[in-house]
């Protein structure tokens, strides 16, 4: 009986993992495109653009003192979180909202960034 129970738990866990993976793929597909930061707890980020590609790469473009700076890196979606890596550094943000034209992220310090998809 214990073996049957353990097998049932393992199958259920695999089912949950498969659902999470499917959700992560859907989330990644919705994320692809160009986004503009419209509101951020870190004010200098407002107006910056983020571009996510299908192949797991991203670019951030931001103006600092009338000079445009770009940062490139990679991203992946894991359990509803956006994990980015750039220049040997990694960051994880919780995706609080994602629609076809709106994205809201929350970082580890509970600071929020709101983005709108550019058309």
What would the DSSP string read from start to end of 9-64? Answer: HHHHHHHHHHHHHHHHHHHHHHH-EEEEEEEESSGGGTT-EEEE-TTSEEEEEEEE
3-state secondary structure of 79: coil
% pLDDT > 70, the chain: 82
- pLDDT at res. 38: 95
What does the pLDDT look like over 60-105, one tens digit per residue?
998 888 888 899 999 999 999 999 999 999 999 999 999 999 999 9
- Output 18 or 36, whichever has higher pLDDT: 36
47 pLDDT higher than 80: yes
- Please name each of the domains of the chain with its CATH number: 2-117 (2.40.128.280)
Q: Residue 20 — φ and ψ, nearest 5°?
A: -60, -40
CA 63 to the chain's CA centroid? 22
Please state, in angstroms and rounded to a whole number, the distance separating the CA atoms of residues 103 and 116: 6
């Amino acid at each position: 009986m214990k073996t049957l129970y353990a097998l049932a738990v393992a199958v259920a866990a695999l089912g949950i993992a498969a659902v999470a993976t499917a959700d992560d793929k859907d989330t990644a597909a919705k994320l692809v495109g160009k986004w503009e930061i419209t509101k951020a707890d870190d004010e200098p980020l407002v107006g910056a653009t983020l571009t996510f590609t299908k192949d797991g790469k991203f670019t951030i473009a931001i103006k600092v003192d009338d000079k445009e700076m770009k940062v490139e890196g990679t991203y992946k979606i894991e359990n509803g979180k956006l994990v980015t890596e750039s220049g040997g550094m990694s960051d994880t943000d919780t995706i609080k909202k994602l629609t076809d034209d709106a994205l809201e992220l929350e970082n580890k310090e509970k600071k929020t960034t709101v983005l709108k998809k550019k058309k």
